Amino acid sequence: MLKHRLVFLRHGQTDWNAEGRLQGQMDIPLNDTGRFQAEKAGKTVLKLLGAEAVRSGAYSFVSSPLGRARDTMEIARAAMGLAPQDYAIEPLIAELTFGDWAGLTWPEVKARAPQAASWREGDKWSFTPPNGESYSMLADRLLPWVESLEGDVVAVSHGGVARALMAMLGGLATERAALADIWQGRVLVFANGRFDWV
């Protein structure tokens, strides 16, 4: 499906990440650790692709509209020696929404909605939180963006988006993709029907 190379960065850590809170599309800012991770990721991309490719325009740069992703992109671009704000915004690559569960920790979700939490644990890919999105719905949302890519791209987005892309582009079974660890401060490369962590 993907004809080009997609270099993917998950946004850096936020206080809600550190607390284990479900962020979804809540706009929570990076913390100091997250800013460090963003700079580290930018340096990794520069080393991976090379200064000439990064600065020549061979790669386009695109970010989720959420502030933590945009801040990660701008810090990473500065670490690459690029103008921080010279990138596109793509609403389709925003994180999935947790709906009524946004802001809660998993122990809080299990306490408030034990049956629904159990259903999600049984089929994380297809389960839809109340007023939220499933990974399956997220993959459907991402498809037009993936199909629109006309060249190699560096994207900053979210953990849920990375999991959906692992299934869509990397051949990972959906039940495994939904449970995959997505690290902050590292770089995930999708190409040739597979994915690799750098």
Active site residues: 11, 95
Q: How far is CA 43 from CA 70, 72, 159, in A?
A: 17, 12, 20
Under a CB-based contact definition with an 8 Å cutoff, are residues 63 and 23 in contact? no
Mention every residue, 6+ apart, whose C-beta is less than 8 A from residue 181: none
- Cβ(154)–Cβ(45) under 8 Å? yes
Give me the long-range contacts of 179-182 (CB less than 8 A, separation at least 24).
179/124, 182/10
User: Helix, strand or coil for residue 155?
Assistant: strand
By three-state DSSP, how is residue 39 classified? helix
Residue 37 token pair: 């991770």
